[in-house]
A = this chain, B = another copy of it.
Amino acid sequence: MVPARRGDLFDPACPTRRLLDRVGGKWVAMIVKVLAEAEPDELGFAELRRRVPGISHKMLAQTLRSLTADGLADRRVEPSTPPRVHYRLTDLGRSLDEPLAALREWAERHMPDIDDFARRGGTSP
């Protein structure tokens, strides 16, 4: 990650794009939301999959893996047969949910405006 294409080093003091590279993925924001709403409980893999409609087995595992690797989620393995694995947000992950919640709120409030504007082809009222 953070490839530094060719000789072109972008400003290393711009963490926003790096954050969006992670959070802008197709499923990250939704999984963080679901985990945040489950607080203070943790969620099993299967339960998570049920609460994120449309996600594939692979993408859920992959996204959870990256969240765990980034310290945004904790992973707890229950040593049973079959083993069950549970996830919850870390403090860091919980703090990330705050700006994400602001974004969700904006989206719910204003996406209809964008849709209307786009549908009318940008004509003034």
Contact = CB atoms under 8 A, between A and B. Distances in A.
B113 A92 contact: yes
Interface size class of A (residues with CB under 8 A): 35 or more
Chain A residues touching B, majority SS: helix
Contacts of A20: 23-24, 29, 103
A29 B72 CA distance: 22
Nearest to A91: B113
Nearest to A8: B54
A73 B84 CA distance: 49
Contact of A70 (B17, B33, B114): B114
Interface in A48-92: 53-54, 68-72, 92
Contacts of A17: 26, 29-30
